[in-house]
Chain A
């Protein structure tokens, strides 16, 4: 049509688009104001903390601020394989002296010790010398400091100080993957017997995967039963499924401890029916078994509910149609019913997997040494070592992992194929 490009006007001559915008504007403002509290809430409680966590995980300004003169002097240090020139020694001495006066030198020693083992001893030695005023500031500081300890004569220690110069670092992330920046700045692996984080990551994935699998195999029949039973029975069953939801997580975990411990009810039962000998009771707690059992039970409702809501919408006549057209009950189930439940399976598995990957309390209580997950390690660094930047880095790695899984899921199944209810 020829008038396609022509602007359409309303009766009083205003372009239709302008008029429409004007009419919609009030509604848009109203809608925005309604969601504004939630938006504000999300920004304050979600986006801001994540940003803060990220900053903390890469922040390395402590040394940068403590040793300003050192790093300024280090700009002139050209041949990094040799000991730095006198200016660097002087800068470091002056910075350290100032720190010692402010009682801040201990922090620096600890921080540098993390970068390279042995720093604590030699900085303390330097501190004692400064305190006793045994250092002659007019003479060569390089010679005097080098004489204090042989490590000061080792160029690697000076390289380690230089590595702490940039205000931001990815070293925490490398540490989370059992890697570190080597002396020459390249990325290296830690010794094989000290790679604990990689084991924890793999164990977290493994436990989350199997818990999801167990939840699926147990939840699918329950959800099917819930969706097909007559109302009066299905309501009762629904309450049974939801009951754990209304009980404290801690209480549920504690009751699993009572059930699973070596002198617990399950073991007593096994002994009673003669499955195991009384003096050879199996350990079902403080290992992976305990983590699997408790987490599967706790996460089961998250699988059942999305499955149920999808199955509820599948008309029973579809299965009948499948059978009347000649499909055996199995064929009718597999070709007709099962494909229709995939949105629910996707939602349930994703939900359970993501919850399981970050699970904390249950593995901490029933997991023991072989059943703890990465989140327990994060908590350990939060509470015990107080290395918050490392905890933040691992938290963000976990978050990224979840986002990657979500992305893969989207590629495979499609997020619009999810049905939560």
Chain B
């Protein structure tokens, strides 16, 4: 009897063993979306954030030359990197021959070859948020202030200056609380301070840093909880305020760069935008405590006329399917509009491609929380 029992268990154990596989690095999934279309723009990268703690930030690539969408390319291109790309991708940009992905909760900027996405190195910046470039340097905003032992300490954020050749942080400039996007124009860096950790006392200012001295030279009072900013060719800086989520709604502000002062605002809520020529494509997702749901709106603002051109650029009703728009981009030549849907933040999202007429061309499954785009130009 004992022998039988032993045998039974030996068999059971053997069966169970066969059930467990080694965790595998999967090759990218390739989806054919459109006919091949060779042009000046080779393709674009899409950075998926992944929910906090999930370590599921992934990179997708769309190749215009083949019309193929390649889902989750980083692990395959870099099979020897432990724990892959990391936790919560927050920004992606190309400068020179390199692709830079800012991975917020992994406290690093992953630096890759822009054509192969092969890892070249990393820049360590704790709690890094956004990245911009100028004259061989990368400028990275970070929520992480100086480390001090002080329970009442309020941490200012900073902008790190990084040599793109050595990938080393060579200088830091303290700005406001929890700085988000930055923009470089007229020899200055503009930084949108959010104060996101300071609820309900959000920040209200844009920091202005002189590029030459790398010192903060001015604070421009705008509105609460600033997030994104973009310079246009008419001497303006467009800044989005998230609002305080209660009394004060999200809104679009204009800073006059000749005076570095807030000029006016446009009564439109903004979560994210993309500036193409004079057209500022934007959407907004705001929680309504009345309907107890997210209210999603779209629009285009003409930055030359400083007016809303339209409140909808999706014309075929597809916007009804998009639960949480999370990323937006416009093709510089074809004017195709790309919008992502992050859905519930924890399951895979969707990327929608609309023609310039606002009609759906294709859509494709992405990673979790598809968010940030960058074009790869030839």
Partners in one complex: no
